[in-house]
Amino acid sequence: MLSIGLIGCGTIGTSICKAIDDGTIEAELVAIYDRNLDDVDKLLSTLERSKPQVMEVTEMVRNIDLLVECASQEAVYEIIPTALHAHCDVMIMSVGAFSDEKLYKTIRELAKENKCKVYLPSGAIVGLDGLKSASAEKIYSVTLTTQKPPAGLAGAPYIIRNKIDLDKITGKTVIFEGPASEAVKAFPANVNVAATISLTGIGFEKTKVKIVANPALTRNIHEISVEGAFGEFTTRVENVPSPSNPKSSYLASLSAIATLRKLSDPIQTGT
Ligand SMILES: NC(=O)C1=CN([C@@H]2O[C@H](COP(=O)(O)OP(=O)(O)OC[C@H]3O[C@@H](n4cnc5c(N)ncnc54)[C@H](OP(=O)(O)O)[C@@H]3O)[C@@H](O)[C@H]2O)C=CC1
Ligand SMILES: O=C([O-])CC(=O)C(=O)O
């Protein structure tokens, strides 16, 4: 059975661990880690059958087949190369880290050299299958429009740097417009999906991102519009925010779980 180690015991990490614990994912949860020890304890208290050891990444990678990152973009730098050097496959949620082209190339090379897979789930968006198919031919444009309730954007470096008072926003307001390369750095905990779209489609510079704060919303909305040789499509998802972290949509957790379930399934649907 697949042995899994997980870094980041927050919202997504807890959902994944529970899904392993209750058998939704066919795997053994061998090890977990988080820099925040309270989150580790909280997660452990939710598990009924699994008894993962708490260990740091250097020890963890000696005991697992696959490392799951659901922590932060900085964690990708800290843990993914270590895991690949140790011949572990990896699944990454903080995909925005790959706007750093050097990191992306390093991880790609390391994965090839060590014959490892790097899984990037669709996360909180829908339509990655269509974009993947479309990218076999010419794509003319890709635009992501993300709308969140103002509280879902709190703490983003862009909001802090520009001294935007989210409490004072009373109507639908465009907060940011620019390339995905800038969006994922300005909003590292809000639009990792822009990175996954960029890697699947036409890259970080050509992918356009618009971020809207909308106090009328209770859900996180992502709309993707794509034009290419195939024709055009628009997808829209209205995501229920995770109760423990309104920045992250529940669908992101479910997407991580689905990606891990797929590993043990002989039938693979979708592009
Ligand atoms: N691809 C996608 O579609 C999506 C991606 N995401 C991304 O997935 C990641 C996890 O999301 P979520 O579970 O909601 O986040 P949470 O904030 O709920 O949990 C993350 C946990 O990881 C810990 N952590 C952060 N950095 C490190 C590190 N370097 N080493 C060890 N622990 C660390 C955090 O600690 P602390 O509290 O101290 O920061 C926190 O306990 C985030 O980067 C998020 O932006 C989220 C939604 C969708
Ligand atoms: O969960 C979401 O709605 C999207 C998100 O936070 C991200 O891509 O980082």
Q: How far is the CA of 216 from the centre of ligand 2 (A)?
A: 19
Ligand 1 near 41 CB (within 6 A)? no
Contact 263, 28 (CB under 8 A): no
Residue 178 has pLDDT above 90, yes or no: yes
pLDDT of 243 reads 84
Residue nearest to ligand 2 atom 6, measured at CA: 190
What is the 3-state secondary structure of 147-200? Answer: EECHHHHCCCHHHHHCCCCHHHCCCCEEEEEEEHHHHHHHCCCCCHHHHHHHHH
Residue 262 has pLDDT above 90, yes or no: yes
pLDDT of 244 reads 86
Q: How far is the CA of 10 from the centre of ligand 1 (A)?
A: 6
Nearest atom (ligand 1) to Cα of 193: 3
For the record, the structure tokens of 269 come out as 């649907």
For the record, the structure tokens of 270 come out as 């979708």
Q: Which residue has the tokens 């800290």?
A: 78
For the record, the structure tokens of 198 come out as 């960029």
> Residue 22: CB partners within 8 Å, gap ≥ 6?
48, 49
Percentage helix, strand, coil for the chain under 3-state DSSP, each rounded to 5: 40, 25, 35
pLDDT of 246 reads 86
Ligand 1 near 245 CB (within 6 A)? yes
Q: Which of 209, 248, 253 maximizes ligand 2 atoms within 8 Å of its Cβ, making it the mutation to test the pocket?
A: 248
Binding residues for NAD(+): 124, 192
Average pLDDT, the chain: 97
Residue 75 has pLDDT above 90, yes or no: yes
pTM (two decimals):
0.97
Residue 211 has pLDDT above 90, yes or no: yes
pLDDT cut 90: percent of the chain above it: 98
Residue 254 has pLDDT above 90, yes or no: yes
> Residue 87: CB partners within 8 Å, gap ≥ 6?
114, 115, 116
Report the C-alpha gap between 60 and 66 in whole angstroms.
10
Report the C-alpha gap between 202 and 195 in whole angstroms.
11
- The predicted complex's ipTM stands at 0.98
139 confidence band (pLDDT: 50, 70, 90): very high
Residue 222 has pLDDT above 90, yes or no: yes
Known catalytic residues?
222
Ligand 1 near 9 CB (within 6 A)? yes
Report the C-alpha gap between 170 and 106 in whole angstroms.
44
Contact 195, 118 (CB under 8 A): no
List the alpha helices (DSSP H) in 56-127: 57-60, 73-85, 101-113
